[in-house]
Amino acid sequence: MITRKKRGFTIIELLVAISVIGILMALLLPAVQSSRESARRIQCQNNLKQLGLALYNYHDAHLMLPPANIWGGRGEPLGGGLLPIGTFDRVAMGISPATEPDRLYANWAILLLPSLDQATLYDNFDLNLPLDDATNLPARQTNLSVMRCPSDSYNELPYERALLDGTRGHVYARGNYAMNVGPNPPCFTFQPACQNGFQTGTYDLINTNSTLVGSGVGGFNVSLRFRNFPKGLSNMIAIDEIRAGIDPIDPRGVWSLGFPAASVTAVHSQGPNAVMGYDGINSCTNLTLTYSATALERLGMPCSSSPIPSNYAATARSQHAGIVNALRLDGSVESISEQIDAVLWTNLHSRDTFLQ
């Protein structure tokens, strides 16, 4: 009787098989990643649609849109006469709560919570207290899926608002959507050399001013109505997608915090994902020393400092390839190319025809 031995794979055959499998995996992986990113982008757009419905419900209930933020008190004595209300962060600079109470209260996102099926969370905020009060800690550190784009790899990292001054515990959850307050230049209309700048209630920024508004859909202590948009709701971007900060001291992308870069876009005429026209944030000097300006640009998160550390500027940003998502005031959502013409970008963010 002839006995046949079972023949196994030779080394060469195994190597060929492994190579084929590797090639197939290399071909399939980009497709899988692309499919996953497509799903994440759709979820990001769905979040914006929910925010659009919430804006409409808020307008129906209050006959106006929510303000970008609510700021307590008049004037900004800590701005040296250069900064308006709503840009100097007393908590980050170590002034509040030890020396004086903070002045920042609720922002547009907190005010929309009842229209986002988050009435319980809304009730957990004490709107009569500054946002940074310990009473508001459990609410402000709540992660909300409707406020977070799943494509952002940093929005799990909480913001430590007082860490810039060396203090921990002032924690805030991240978010990826910001109200457009206007692409105006960082100056004020009462200044002779300022064209198309922001408007303030009085010229006395130190003692008496209590409002700040640009050409966007809301201001600091300023609410607008649908009738305030003569170009039509479909021609006006209300909410931009933004990125969450890459470090605990980076204030960008904080859903409940009504500062520029946290939940507000401002001074952003350069377009989405801009490398020029950096985000103006109070921790930029520290971030640059830690990461370097080149590294921040490579990460897509460049920033700029000001003589008085403040949060004054931010543009739309995302980790979607080549685009950012945006909500128009009519409730429609679109993906906008980062190559969009700067003039068109500015016009989409401005209710004022003089910026055309």
Helix (H, G, I), strand (E, B) or coil at 228: helix
pLDDT tens for 16-61 read 667 777 776 666 555 545 568 889 999 999 999 999 999 999 999 9
pLDDT at 28: 59
Return phi, psi of residue 239, to 5°.
-135, 130
Q: Report which of 118, 130, 111, 126 is spatially closest to residue 170, judged by C-alpha positions.
A: 130
> What band does 2 get if pLDDT is binned at 50, 70 and 90?
low
Tokens of 219: 């201001």
**pTM of this structure:** 0.89
Q: How crowded is residue 351: how many other Cβ atoms within 10 Å of its Cβ?
A: 22
Looking at the DSSP bridge assignments, the partners of residue 287 are: none
Instruction: Please report the pLDDT score of residue 355 as a whole number.
Output: 46
Q: What is the pLDDT of residues 94-140, one digit of tens each?
A: 999 989 999 999 999 999 999 999 999 999 999 999 999 999 999 99
**What's the confidence (pLDDT) of residue 27?**
60
pLDDT in tens, 242-286: 999 999 999 999 999 999 999 999 999 999 998 877 899 999 999
- Section 301-315 average pLDDT: 95
3-state secondary structure of 114: helix
N-terminal to C-terminal alpha carbon distance within the chain = 95
Indicate the length of the chain as a whole number.
Answer: 356
Burial class of residue 47, CB neighbours in 10 A (0-12, 13-18, 19+)? buried
State how far the alpha carbon of 118 is from the alpha carbons of 56, 221, 286, in Å.
Answer: 16, 23, 36
Question: What confidence score (pLDDT) does residue 354 get?
Answer: 47
Give the pLDDT of residue 12.
Answer: 72
Backbone angles phi and psi of 288, in degrees to 5? -65, -40
Residue 11, pLDDT > 80, answer: no
